Amino acid sequence: MKKILLSVLMAVAVTFCCCAQSTTFDKSKAVKDVKTKSFGTKDSTALIKDMKMGWNLGNTMDATNGTSLNSEVSWGMPKTTKAMIDGLAKSGIKTIRIPVSWSNHLIDDKYTVDPAWMARVKEIVDWAIEDGMYVILNSHHDCYNRNSKMPYGKGYYPTSQNYEESKKFLVNVWSQISLAFNSGYDEHLIFETMNEPRLQGTAHEWWTDQNCKECLDAEETLNKMNQDVVNTIRKSGGNNAKRYIMVPGLRAAPECATSAGFKLPQDTAKNKLIVSVHMYTPYNFAMETPGIKDFTPRVKNDLAVSLKGINDKLVAKGIPVIIGEYGATNKGNLEARVEWFNFYISKCRQYNICAILWDNGQSAADPKNGEKFGYYNRKTQTWYFPEIIKAIVDNSK
């Protein structure tokens, strides 16, 4: 019996130690959290119920043009203000996802993040926390965009060829995030390991074939990368030893998160992992241009089947889910979109799924552009489509 127990302990130790990685970043430039706040005892079910529905600060801290702090506005969004965050909270939004890109903010050859950038991210997070909101903080446009050997500092790429470089990036960046955000933040701060990790530059970027060796390799590599980030966060101790962490499958696609190859990381904290998926469903209504504009019975059924699948395969089996991005592009079809939002959010609440609205600031309909996901006017703190925010808030109660 002792031998068996020893073998189990050794296996667990190997799992965590093999994923350990010494950091190289310049610790003298790291932003450090010096505050202390007690961490709540909510289980994942109660947490997600309290998060209700949320909103993404899209095309902002995740933008990759410009330099240093200028990148925040490089994709056309205004600089984030406290008034903007306050307006969201007053509107009834309970959760804000703050997508952040880090690979364009490394300042040396050691994976050191620009401390000014970290401080700016921290400022925005703190505004939302002060308003009583939940905050999701991630690594966003850091997935490398070529199917080749990845050079230093370009982020991550889910192939065995690029695993070691991906691991160095993820471990160093998440070590620095974990230093800046730790015991001064309670359960209202949630970490998300990666955003839509995928095989960019290949035929399988948005389509995964379980008979494809490249896809299976990507799936296996992503499992290791998720484990690396979870280990790094837990290793930082303090409140991060028990923080909720969201982990995606390939592309953050629901079908990838429910595939046989997707594995939740092993975790030293109990019931603190949440599966992250994105769902613009059905595609021909929610994103495709021209696609279709009407909320037909077929659209309703497709959406119902997709959400039920997430519930049956994950939530009902005790695996919590947050839909990190969703939305319906503007096709000049407000009435149909309101119907879609009413149905989408009511079903999410039925299954205890929190959904976070994607907002890239582009509100005007355009028959040639399927990414018109602008909802909140960040300059006036009003909503372009009051009927839509009403549908979201009313169905979140």
Give dist(CA 119, CA 289) in Å, integer: 39
Annotated catalytic, 130?
no
Give dist(CA 97, CA 61) in Å, integer: 11
Annotated catalytic, 140?
yes
Give the dihedral sign, CA 17/19/25/30: negative
Annotated catalytic, 325?
yes
The distance in angstroms from the start CA to the end CA of the chain is: 51
Give dist(CA 246, CA 192) in Å, integer: 4
Cβ neighbors of 325 (< 8 A, separation 6 or more) are 56, 97, 252, 278, 279, 280, 356, 358
- How large is the C-alpha radius of gyration of the chain? 20
Number of helices (H), then strands (E), belonging to the chain: the values are 11, 10
Helix, strand or coil, per DSSP, at residue 94: coil
Among the listed residues 192, 219, 325, 339, the single catalytic one is 325
Among the listed residues 72, 165, 192, 196, the single catalytic one is 196
Give dist(CA 12, CA 301) in Å, integer: 44
Q: Which tokens sit at 346?
A: 């009511």
Q: Specify whether the CB–CB gap between 69 and 61 falls below 8 A.
A: no
Which is nearest to 171 in space by CA: 13, 21, 14? 21
Among the listed residues 140, 188, 204, 278, the single catalytic one is 140
Q: Specify whether the CB–CB gap between 190 and 274 falls below 8 A.
A: yes
Q: Which residues are catalytic?
A: 140, 196, 325
